[in-house]
Amino acid sequence: MNRLAGKVAMITGAGRGIGAAIALAFAREGAAVALAELDIETAQATAERIAKEANSTRVVAIGTDVTQSASVKEAVAQTESAFGPLDVLVNNAGINVFCDPLTMTDEDWRRCFAVDLDGVWNGCRAALPGMVERGAGSIVNIASTHSFKIIPGCFPYPVAKHGVIGLTRALGIEYAPNNVRVNAIAPGYIETQLTLDWWNGQPDPQVARQATLDLQPMKRVGQPQEVALTAVFLASDEAPFINASCITIDGGRSALYHD
């Protein structure tokens, strides 16, 4: 339970879902954890729960808008002020923007990229200078199976997520000589609140849920903590030679040729 002992980590979008699961897993493994979240009330409640469940006093919530580079830079500064130099950054914050390409507004396009790609870059740009100077660091970007698979009706979300993989690979190679690793995780169907909201928004939620389960080789969807365990591995000293890579967590769905 000490795989991240002594490390300082910041996770964006950590108020709920995958981000909250990663923050909890990091705290349980001994890391000091900052939850950088737009909804500060949600982040504070989650931070209190994590502190209790992980029996840790080194958990803090920081109001952060990942679309604003100054906000992310300030979040890194606050994290380091509270706990010391940042060892790990997890760029998890993201939103779903699914539109028809020819009727999508400019605002929809910018909203998607502002969070899902610019937000990742803003995190990297804020964390990298310190990591490069110290000659150590791990950045984990939460991508998606949309990063390499296309589902009709989901534009422009996969375009942004393809960009996250490109950013991960480019920065991983750029800063490899400085012992800074940049990797990505590509989750498939994970039972987050967003997934539950989508099922519940369908005419028959149970039918919609079952249709999703039927698509999965393992006949279930993933859980946020299953993504969190991989994030722990990439952030830890157990993955020193994994860089500019992407680990897919989808139960084998993306390897399936057809149903």
pLDDT per position as a tens digit, 48-90? 999 999 999 999 999 999 999 999 999 999 999 999 999 999 9
Confirm if 64 and 37 have CB atoms less than 8 A apart: yes
User: Does 157 participate in catalysis according to the annotation?
Assistant: yes
**Burial category of 215 from C-beta neighbours within 10 Å (exposed 0-12, middle 13-18, buried 19 and up):** middle
The candidate with the shortest Cα–Cα distance to 227, out of 167, 170, 184, 194, is: 184
Fold of 8-187+223-249: Rossmann fold (3.40.50)
| Token output for 5 | 């002992």
Residue 30 in 3-state DSSP?
A: coil
Which pLDDT tens digit goes with each residue over 243-258? 999 999 999 999 998 8
- Inform me whether the pLDDT recorded for 259 exceeds 90: no
Q: Where are the domains of the chain?
A: 8-187+223-249, 191-221
Which pLDDT tens digit goes with each residue over 194-235? 899 989 999 999 999 999 999 999 999 999 999 999 999 999
Band (pLDDT 50/70/90 cuts) for residue 33 is very high
Q: Which of 157, 175, 189, 257 is catalytic?
A: 157
